[in-house]
Structures are given as C-alpha cells and as structure tokens.
Amino acid sequence: MTSGDVERAWPDGFEVAGHSSPMRILVGLDNQEEAHLLSYVRLLGRTGEVIVRVLHVIESITVMGGPGIETEEEAGSLVEAAVFSLRMAGIGASGAVRHGRVNRIAAVILDDATTWRADTIVVSGRRTQGLRRLTGRGVREQLVRRSTIPTALVSSPARGLGKMARDCKKG
C-alpha cells in the first residue's frame, strides 16, 4: 500500500484500500447449491473491488407464515458456506437469512437489496417450472420485472454445455 492509499472499514467489516465505493453485490441463494453463482461473483471480484451480501430467504409454505420448507439451521449453514467460500477467495462477504411467504420472496430480496444499497443483484438463472412459470410468478421473473437495481440471472455452465451437446447431436 502506498502512502496515498486510504483504508476504510465498511459496515461488513471489509477493508478496501484505495477505493471509495466498491461494487455492492447481493447474491440471492435458493435452497440448492449455487456454485455457479459464487464462481460468477469471484470472477467479478477479480475485475475490481466488490463487497458481497449473501441472502437466503426461507420460504413459508402457508399464507399465514407458517413453518418454512427448511430449518433456520439449514438456511444458516447454506449462507455460512457461501460466505466462507467468497472470503477464501479474498472477497469481503457477509450473509443473512430472512423469512418470506412463497409469493413474497422477490419482495424480500428487493427490500434487502435496497436497504443494503446493492449495486446489483445476482441470482440463479434456472427456469421456474410448471404453472408458476406460465403465470410469470417465479421469483426470478418477479425480480427482473420489479427491480430498479440491475439484476443478473446466472446460468450454470454445465447446463449450457449439456444443451449445446444435445443440439450438436440433432444437427
């Protein structure tokens, strides 16, 4: 660090040398492993300074906000593993677990992103299936439609390669 560089402590406990405002990325994890999302964020971290907030929303399966489809401990473990992975790559990261009814998950993510002042939201690009997709009610579709914050839908490279291989066989 040169004498002109400034170290600043961010609320997440991440120190940034020489930059006044690193890119703030909110990563929305669903209840499956999202290695491709973390790989994408690590790539962004190589291009400049980033701070990441990993968010997982526990879905309540009833309108009354009843029990979630996973426990608080399961959700916490998912977030902790993602935060640890990013920190091991040298990226400042924090995490949070929130609760939301199944039809309000996008709203919970958008509220958290706005409160945290995210510059971008990154979520999995996996397609919603069945009726939720046809009615445009999937979380990803709602995020893209409602967000004023740029939102990146990141697909798993393996899925893309599998489709490409199938297309090559047809042709």
pLDDT of 67: 58
pLDDT digits (tens, 9 = 90+) for 85-135: 999 999 999 999 999 887 889 999 999 999 999 999 999 876 544 444 444
What's the whole-model pTM score?
A: 0.73
Domain ranges of the chain: 20-170
Distance CA 105, CA 65 (A): 12
Residues 6+ apart with CB under 8 A from 56: 28, 29, 30, 31, 75, 78, 79, 95, 96, 97, 98
Distance CA 11, CA 20 (A): 13
pLDDT reading at 165 higher than 60: no
pLDDT of 48: 80
- Long-range CB contacts for residues 69-78, cutoff 8 Å, separation at least 24: 69/31, 70/31, 72/97, 74/31, 75/31, 78/29, 78/31
Assess contact for 139 and 168: CB atoms under 8 A: no
CATH domain 20-170 topology: Rossmann fold (3.40.50)
- In the chain, how many H helices and how many E strands? 6, 7
pLDDT digits (tens, 9 = 90+) for 46-96: 888 899 999 999 887 765 555 567 888 999 999 999 999 999 999 999 999
